[in-house]
Amino acid sequence: MSEWHDLPNLLVAYDLRDPDQWQAAHRHRALWGKLYTDIHALDYDHIALVFRSAGERWRPWELVRLSRILDEDLELEARAA
């Protein structure tokens, strides 16, 4: 299994029809930073955020931010189920 530091990007998809996911997308982009987050419209109701690394120097903090984003996504999925 690859580690996060081996991956060039992390892609997370959001369904903007769900208010929780809409807010999560905004929080995650703010948490990661606008400079290193790309937004891709998948269709009218869905987007994908691509989180890119800012380099080796930032890797420890990126791991913290990554765990917050992924933990929050798991909570959203559990609530939706």
Q: Tell me which residue range forms the domain holding 70.
A: 4-80
pLDDT of residue 62: 85
pTM of the complete model: 0.76
pLDDT at 2: 46
CATH of the domain at 62: 3.30.70
**Are 59 and 53 in contact, with CB atoms under 8 Å apart?**
yes
Total count of domains within the chain: 1
pLDDT in tens, 17-60: 999 999 999 999 999 989 999 999 999 999 999 999 888 888 88
